[in-house]
Chains A and B, each alone.
Chain A
Amino acid sequence: QLQLLEAGPGLIKPSETLSLTCSVSGGSIRDGNYVWGWIRQPPGKGLEWIGTIHYSGNTYYNPSLKSRLTISVDTSKNQFSLQLSSVTAADTAVYFCARHPNGHMDVWGQGTMVTVSS
C-alpha cells in the first residue's frame, strides 16, 4: 500500500533554510488523480497546511508562507520536497507530507520533528 516517509535535518539554526523530502513508495507520484502536500503541527498546537504540488510542477502555497516557500517534485525519484527560508522559532513543528485525492488528505507520512534553535 502507499507509504510516505519524510526526511529532514531535525535541528536547524534561525535564518537558515529548512529542506525536507517526502519519499513515496507503493505508488507513483505521477498519478494524475492526486496532488501531494506538506502540513505542519507546532508542539501542542493544531495543523497548518503549508502547500501542495502536482507532478507537473503546479504549486499552491499557503499565503502566509508563500514568500519563504518552495515546493518541488522529482518524478525520477518519486519524491517531492519543501524548502522554507529564513526560519525562526515559530517554524518549529512536526512536518507531515500527505497525498491529496480531491480536496482532502487521505494518506499521511509519519511526520518529522524540526526544531529551530541556535
Chain B
Amino acid sequence: QSALTQPASVSGSPGQSITISCTGTSSDVGGYNTVAWHQQHPGKAPKLMIYDVNQRPSGVSNRFSGSKSANTASLTISGLLADDEADYFCSSFTSSITYVFGTGTKVTVL
C-alpha cells in the first residue's frame, strides 16, 4: 500500500490560515469517510486533531477543520498560532482492511 501524498512543508504567519492536502485513491481517502489528521510535535506522540473527515475530538480548537473532495482530503488551520508549528499526518482506512498514513507535512509559523 502506498502512503497518502502530502506536501512536505506549509508555512504561514501568525493569524493566517493554511491548508494541508492529503491525496489518496478511491480505495482509501475517496472510498471511506475515515480520514483523520494527527499533530506531532518533535519527540512527542501524535495527537488526534480531526477524525471522520471533519469531526473534532473534545478539547481540540475549532481553528482546526477538515474536508474532503473525491480522493483528496484537506486540513485547514485558521488563526495560526506559534504552537501550531508541528508535523501533521493524515490517515485513512483502506479497502484492504488496513490503515495508511500520509507522508507528513511540516508546518512552520513564520
A-binding residues in B (CB < 8 A): 1, 3, 32, 34, 36, 38, 45-48, 51-52, 57, 89, 91-93, 96-104
Is the beta-carbon distance between B34 and A104 smaller than 8 angstroms? yes
**Does A103 interact with chain B (Cβ within 8 Å)?**
yes
Secondary structure at the A interface, as helix, strand, loop or mixed, is loop
Sample 26 A-B pairs with CB under 8 A, ordered by A number: A46-B89, A46-B102, A46-B103, A46-B104, A47-B46, A47-B104, A49-B91, A49-B99, A52-B99, A60-B98, A62-B98, A63-B1, A100-B99, A101-B51, A103-B32, A103-B36, A103-B93, A103-B99, A104-B34, A104-B36, A104-B48, A105-B99, A108-B46, A108-B47, A108-B48, A110-B45
Q: How far is the CA of A4 from the CA of B27 in the complex (A)?
A: 30
Is the beta-carbon distance between A60 and B89 smaller than 8 angstroms? no
Is the beta-carbon distance between B98 and A47 smaller than 8 angstroms? no
* B103 CB to nearest chain A CB (Å): 6
Q: Enumerate A18-72 residues with CB–CB distance to B below 8 Å.
A: 37, 39, 46-49, 52, 60-64
Interface size on A, residues (CB 8 A): 25
* B37 CB to nearest chain A CB (Å): 9
Contact of A105 among B3, B91, B96, B104 (CB under 8 A): B91
